[in-house]
Each structure stands twice: as C-alpha cells, then as structure tokens.
Amino acid sequence: MSAAVTALRSAQPETAMDMPAGRAAGADAPVVLEADRVEKTYPNGTHALNDTSVQIRRGEFVSLLGPSGCGKSTLLKMFAGLEVPSSGRIVLHDGHDAAGRASGHRSMAMVFQEATLMPWARVDDNVRLPLDLAGMRRSDSEPRIADALEMVGLSQFKQSYPRELSGGMQMRVSIARALAVQPSILLMDEPFGALDEFTRNKLDSDLHQLWEQRGFTVVFVTHSIYEAVFLSSRVVVMAARPGRVIADVSIDAPPQRDEAYRVSQPFIDNCRVLSQHLTRANRGER
C-alpha cells in the first residue's frame, strides 16, 4: 500500500529521523509509477496541480498528505488514469504513458472515499464485480473472491447485503473488491475519512498488516498527520493554491506497528516534522 517523491526530481528524501539500516534497501527498489512535472488546470480556471514530480517505488507505502484543495486526489486519479494532466505526464514504469494504456493492462486498483457498493448484491457479488467486467469465468473468480474476503476478515459475511454491514465493514468489502484483481499497486483515496476514530484506527492497523504480508505498493490519500505517520514508509506533504509538493519525509518506524507505537517518541517526532511542514505551507512559504 512506495515512493521517491520529490518536488524537485534531483532532491533526496528528507528523513524525520535517522533511517534504520533495513529500510535503506527501499531506495534501490525500482520506480513503478511516476508523475513527471505534472500540471493540472480545470476548464473553470482552478489550478489544481503545479509542476509536480513524484516517483513511487515498488513495495513502499506512500501517503499524500495535505489540506483540501492541494491536489492529492487529483494526482491519485491521474495515477489511476481517471484524469489526464494539462501538461507533463504520468508514467507506468514499463515505459508507457498511463493515459495511453488500456486499464486491463495495468496491475492497479483503486479504493474510493465511499465504499460504492451495489446495494442489491451480496458481498461476494460486489467483490466479484471487477472480475466479471474483465470476463473472468466464475470458476476462476471464486478462489480470488474467497482469498480477498479472508484478507479483510469478512469470509463469514460473503452472503450478506451491504445494508446489513457497518460502515467499516462496507469499506472492507470495497478493499476486498480491489484486492480481488490482485494488483501490484493499490491506490486509496482517503478511504477511512468518514469513519469514527476507533474504526479508523482498527482499519489502519489491518491495512498496514496486510501491506506487510502481501508486499504490494500503496499510494494513500489522507488529511490526517497521525494516520500518515502510522501507515507510511514515506509521506509526501502537499500544499494548496496551487497544489504542489513541499516535502518528502521518510518515516522511521518499526515494521510492526501497534497501539504502543501511536504513543511512542518516534511517532510523536514524526508527527511534529509533518506538522511543521504543513504550518510552513499554510503561511505561504515554499
């Protein structure tokens, strides 16, 4: 749930603390996704992104952190091929431009802010949807559905309807639907923002554990400093007016993150660094 993300392509990532030796190998991982000097201006004149360069490396968990209007979701949608830049380009690092490729050729899935489930369909059929759209035979899709539901802890609810589930469980179904396509890159647009804090913390813990176990790449949009520090191996800090990257922070933290980490000194130190960057951005500093 990945990045050498920089405002200037030649810049090196900033670290909140000294990085442990085991994390240094991430810098050697290949770049799998890149925004190359991307700008986005909408027809109404809104300047959503300004000269944004971001590299996502295989196996990292990168959070895009910033206030509303800083272009986080716009950038994520560009990675997914749902938006196109006004200038610059989005590159999937097999050398192809993302805008010019069929979605079926990308090992990528996206989870949106809302669960967007079909209310008339049971959980397993909601998870099956992208496989049906891809023309996969039901005999082939069943094992994938079972595996995806097991990963999010919903195997026993496969015959339930969305109305019978809590908000957190509905979001788990949405994540399972994305995992069913077996993506190597998972894009997540603030999926837990509407949930209560207890449920959000639980899903953050489960998501981080799933990322550790499965090793896919995650790009995650959030407004929460605390969520970004808990989840991420890297945090890209963005500011608005116009949307731009202002910092790239590597998070020094233990691989296994639990409730004790949330009150630890490294967690507090990392939160302080991100808060300072956002304060600087709110003052209009570069």
Q: What sign does the CA torsion over 143, 149, 155, 161 have? A: negative
The verdict on 101 and 147 lying in the same domain is: no
One domain for residues 100 and 197: yes
* Residues 222 and 228: beta-carbon distance below 8 Å: yes
Q: What parts of the chain have a pLDDT lower than 50?
A: 1-25, 95-96, 100-106
pLDDT score recorded for residue 54: 95
User: Of the candidates 165, 182, 199, which is a domain's last residue?
Assistant: 182
Asked, for residue 56, whether it belongs to a domain, the answer is yes
pLDDT at 102: 40
DSSP 8-state symbol, 28: G
* pLDDT for the residue numbered 94: 60
Q: Closest Cα to residue 176, out of 206, 138, 200?
A: 206
pTM of the model: 0.85
* 125, containing H or E segment: helix 123-133
Domain contains 234: yes
Give pLDDT tens digits for 48-78: 999 999 999 999 999 999 988 899 999 999 9
Q: How far is it, in rounded angstroms, from Cα 260 to Cα 258? A: 5
Let me know if residue 175 belongs to a domain.
yes
- Position 57 scores a pLDDT of 94
Residue 146 placed within a domain: yes
Q: In terms of Cα–Cα distance, which of 65, 11, 1, 7 is closest to 32? A: 1
pLDDT in tens, 155-202: 999 999 999 999 999 999 999 999 999 999 999 999 998 899 999 999
* pLDDT for 69: 87
Contact 13, 234 (CB under 8 A): yes
Residue 39's pLDDT is 96
For residue 112, is it within any domain? Answer: no
Closest CA to 169 of 199, 208, 142: 199
Say whether both 275 and 192 belong to one domain: yes
Q: What Cα–Cα distance (Å) separates residue 30 from each residue in 42, 60, 78, 136, 232?
A: 32, 11, 20, 30, 18
* pLDDT of amino acid 100: 46
Answer yes or no: is 77 within a domain.
Answer: yes
Query: Do 31 and 165 belong together in one domain?
Result: no
pLDDT of residue 62: 97
Whether residue 148 is found in the same domain as residue 192: no
Which of 162, 182, 202 is a domain's end point? 182
Contact 2, 259 (CB under 8 A): no
User: What pLDDT does 68 receive?
Assistant: 87
Question: Considering 159, 182, 205, which residue would you say is the last residue of a domain?
Answer: 182
Q: Do residues 27 and 164 both lie within one domain? A: no
Q: Is residue 230 left, alpha or beta, with left meaning phi > 0 and alpha meaning psi from -120 to 50?
A: alpha
Which CATH number fits the domain that encloses residue 259?
A: 3.40.50.300
What is the extent of the structural domain holding 155?
117-182
Predicted pLDDT at 286: 62
pLDDT at 16: 38
**Conformation bin of residue 39: beta by default, left when phi > 0, alpha when psi is -120 to 50:** beta
Number of domains in the chain: 2
Same domain for 135 and 17, yes or no, is no
**Are 202 and 251 within one domain?**
yes
| Residue 204 covered by a domain | yes
Domain contains 268: yes
> How many other β-carbons are positioned within 10 Å of the β-carbon of residue 164?
12
Do 147 and 15 sit in the same domain of this protein? no
End-to-end CA distance of the chain: 28
Do 167 and 143 belong to one domain? yes
Same domain, 24 and 76: yes
Work out the widest C-alpha separation in the chain, in whole angstroms. 57
| 157 and 87, same domain (yes or no) | no
Per-residue model confidence (pLDDT) at position 25:
38
Q: Is the dihedral of CA 112, 114, 120, 126 positive or negative?
A: positive
